């Protein structure tokens, strides 16, 4: 994955994560979103939140029966 594509993913996930955190707080102010996991056809994205930073992991994903991803 190129740096440019990784930056596009991170910008989109930061926006989505912010919206998801707001939804969780709106549903119950006592709850806080700690992790967000999104699985698409080719990638799985995991976002972890902390007070000082956000960790975004983008990994290639394929089902057990899919031999095209090696």
* In the chain, alpha helices (H): 3-27
Which two tokens mark 13?
């996930």
> Structure pTM?
0.71
Q: What is the largest CA-CA distance in the chain?
A: 44
Q: DSSP assignment, residue 65?
A: T
In tens, the pLDDT along 6-53 reads 889 888 888 998 899 899 999 999 998 889 999 988 889 899 988 788
């Amino acid at each position: 994955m190129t740096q440019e594509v990784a930056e596009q993913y991170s910008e989109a996930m930061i926006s989505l994560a912010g919206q998801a955190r707001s939804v969780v707080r709106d549903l119950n102010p006592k709850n806080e979103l700690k992790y967000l996991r999104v699985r698409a056809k080719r990638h799985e994205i995991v976002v972890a939140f902390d007070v000082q930073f956000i960790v975004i992991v983008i990994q290639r994903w394929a089902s057990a029966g899919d031999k095209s991803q090696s």
